[in-house]
Amino acid sequence: MIATLRRFFKFCSEKNRKRFYIALVLSIVAALCGAMKFPAMGYILMNFINGTIDKKTILIGFLIMTVPLALEATLKGFSTMLQCRGGYGECADKRIHIAEHLRFIPMGYFNENSLGQITSVTTNTMEALGDVATRVVMVTTQGILGTSVIMLLIFIFDYRIGLISLAGIIIYAFINYAMRKHGEKISARKIVADSTLVANIIEYVQGIPEVKAYNLIGNARKKLNNSIDEAANVCTDLEISANSFVPYERGVLKITGVAITLASCIFYINGSMDLVTAIIMMIMSFQVFEGLEATGSFSALLRIVDMSVARANEILAIKPMDIEGDDIVADNSDIDVNDIDFAYDEKKIIDDIALSIPSGTSAAFVGPSGGGKTTLCHLIARFWDVDKGRVELDGKDVRKYSMNSLMSNYSFVFQNVFLFHDTIANNIRFGNPDAPLEEVIKAAKKACCHDFIMALPEGYDTVIGENGASLSGGERQRISIARAIMKDAPIIILDEATANVDPENEKELMTAIKELTKEKTILMIAHRLKTVKNADQIFVVDQGKIVQRGKHSELAAQDGIYKRFIDSRRQAVGWKIS
């Protein structure tokens, strides 16, 4: 238990840890104030027994009791507010911290970890830490500290009663330990169940078109329903597991309270304890363990706190790419790739590739799926760091650039466009957040999307659905191109930008791409012949190697992958290559 509490406080930021520590100090002072009612009772009882009770005595006893109690209530209020600020503040800060950390983790991490797992950590886990965990930790800690204060007071009154109380607490601690050990496996199940549930919900929602198209509604719902049932079952099992031990915990504390009362009576009868002390001990026997009873109810959840902290730390422990380079302004966009290797875990994806792309020229990457085209372009843009060799921009290793200064040189148009749930204007401004509307409209006209934007109900202020669900594929692509035009980076990477576009949109999309790539260095990944045939250089990538390179006319005359690529496209669409 103590180790879990220590890990939680270490996990918190310094600002919020300070809030928690102050809240605990206030709780201790509040517990001391609350304990003052026992000396006040003793003072009044002693005067009753001695026959010296009067108005002055009652007033003094009343003040000794009520002033600390009023202070106790005030301190508890401040302590609770600090707990809330610390808990919810830590939840918000850690979400931002994780989001910032994820920005600079190599992209390979996201291939190994599902969106559901990441979402679960940033939602369920952080929510648990901000709400449940904070409550559990503070109630548990305050219960231990509050009971310790009263225990100290009992030892001051009579060490024998203190030893009886201590014996009860030791037995309670063994039962509490057994409860937490019993709940470890269930807590692990809950973490997995929460992640699986989030992943299946996201998968179900995102895959609804395919589910309907292939009439798989029953199968998809069964998978989702099973994860919902498992999440419900594990929560029920966790509650049952904890509640099965709680009666034993409370029973030990109640029996200990009875033992204190009985011992106080025996000590008074045999003359080893005065009447006032005996009465005070009997009163305290009913309150000494109040804090521990609350602790017992919550401590079963400490394992979830522990595992939640561990899951968040797993992400934060992933070594990010070194982004602390120099703020370099490239004089040109010459790209040089020098004998690079790259692997995902043990699987080699790029194998000893070298190439040069002069500034202002275009390069096309073609080849079989899975051959390494996209990975190569991502290495050039430093989405990952190479395992061997170096990638240079303007003659400087890309690892020497700070991430922000490096990314200012690249604009990307991906096959799968991501648009935010925001206005169209703000989605275009993503390439230049401070741009005025006039610049947004100018970029939209260049990207051939001004007309369809103006046809929308609110024009540029129209809020599009999540990921642009209300727009067609071609419209989303053109907005992403407008976004890239706004950024005006010298290097453009087109990753299958026209792969999923319908014929009606293709002409306007190609016009938009032409506007985007004017006087730029262009890297394109494509399967369409008309997209790559005019490139200054064509690189054929297969099994992580460049197996052919040259212009279209040169490669078309050679036997190999590129010629087969041309033949397959000719057979597919029946065009002639001139």
CA–CA gap between residue 146 and residue 290 (Å, rounded): 9
Q: Are 172 and 296 in contact (CB under 8 A)?
A: yes
> Are 294 and 359 in a shared domain?
no
The domain boundary residue, chosen from 295, 316, 337:
316
Does any domain span residue 123?
yes
Does any domain span residue 220?
yes
Q: Which domain holds residue 242?
A: 2-316
> Are 55 and 166 in a shared domain?
yes
Length of the chain: 578
Closest CA to 382 of 354, 363, 404: 404
CA–CA gap between residue 382 and residue 377 (Å, rounded): 9
> Are 294 and 346 in a shared domain?
no
> Are 226 and 257 in a shared domain?
yes
> Are 7 and 70 in a shared domain?
yes
**Eight-state DSSP code of residue 456:** S
- Check residue 572 and give its pLDDT: 53
Does any domain span residue 552?
yes
Count CB atoms within 10 A of the CB of residue 384. Answer: 18
CATH code of residue 391: 3.40.50.300
- Check residue 89 and give its pLDDT: 83
457-484 per-position pLDDT tens digit: 888 888 886 666 667 777 888 888 888 8
Distances (CA, A) of 287 to 34, 36, 74, 160: 11, 13, 20, 18
Residue 436: burial class (beta carbons within 10 Å; 0-12, 13-18, 19+): exposed
CA–CA gap between residue 265 and residue 498 (Å, rounded): 90
> Are 273 and 339 in a shared domain?
no
Does any domain span residue 497?
no
> Are 395 and 304 in a shared domain?
no
> Are 113 and 90 in a shared domain?
yes
CATH code of residue 220: 1.20.1560.10
Tokens of 564: 């087969």
> Are 150 and 35 in a shared domain?
yes
> Are 203 and 333 in a shared domain?
no
The domain boundary residue, chosen from 316, 343, 362:
316
- Check residue 270 and give its pLDDT: 92
Does any domain span residue 429?
no
CA–CA gap between residue 217 and residue 397 (Å, rounded): 51
- Check residue 263 and give its pLDDT: 93
Planar angle of CA 549, 555, 560, nearest 5 degrees: 90
- Check residue 575 and give its pLDDT: 45
Does any domain span residue 475?
no
Does any domain span residue 96?
yes
The domain boundary residue, chosen from 291, 316, 341:
316
- Check residue 112 and give its pLDDT: 46
> Are 275 and 338 in a shared domain?
no
CA–CA gap between residue 214 and residue 378 (Å, rounded): 34
- Check residue 391 and give its pLDDT: 92
476-514: b or e for each residue (b if 16 or more CB lie within 10 Å)?
bbbbbbbbbbbbebbbbbbbbbbeebeeebeebbbebbe
Does any domain span residue 453?
no
- Check residue 576 and give its pLDDT: 46
CA–CA gap between residue 262 and residue 274 (Å, rounded): 14
Residues of the chain with pLDDT under 70: 1-2, 107-117, 131-134, 137-138, 183-184, 187, 202-203, 205-220, 242, 294, 296-304, 345, 465-470, 497-509, 527-529, 569-578
- The strand pairing partners of 326, in sequence order, are 401
Closest CA to 31 of 408, 349, 292, 411: 292
- Check residue 484 and give its pLDDT: 85
Q: Checking DSSP bridges between strand 521-525 and strand 362-366, what pairing results, if any?
A: parallel
The three-state (H, E, C) secondary structure of 297-355, written as one string: HHHCCHHHHHHHHHHHHHHHCCCCCCCCCECCCCCCCCEEEEEEEEEECCEEEEEEEEE
CA–CA gap between residue 536 and residue 527 (Å, rounded): 17
> Are 389 and 256 in a shared domain?
no
**Eight-state DSSP code of residue 402:** -
- Check residue 160 and give its pLDDT: 92
- Check residue 297 and give its pLDDT: 63
CA–CA gap between residue 460 and residue 454 (Å, rounded): 7
CA–CA gap between residue 578 and residue 561 (Å, rounded): 19
Q: What is the model's pTM?
A: 0.61
Number of structural domains found in the chain: 2
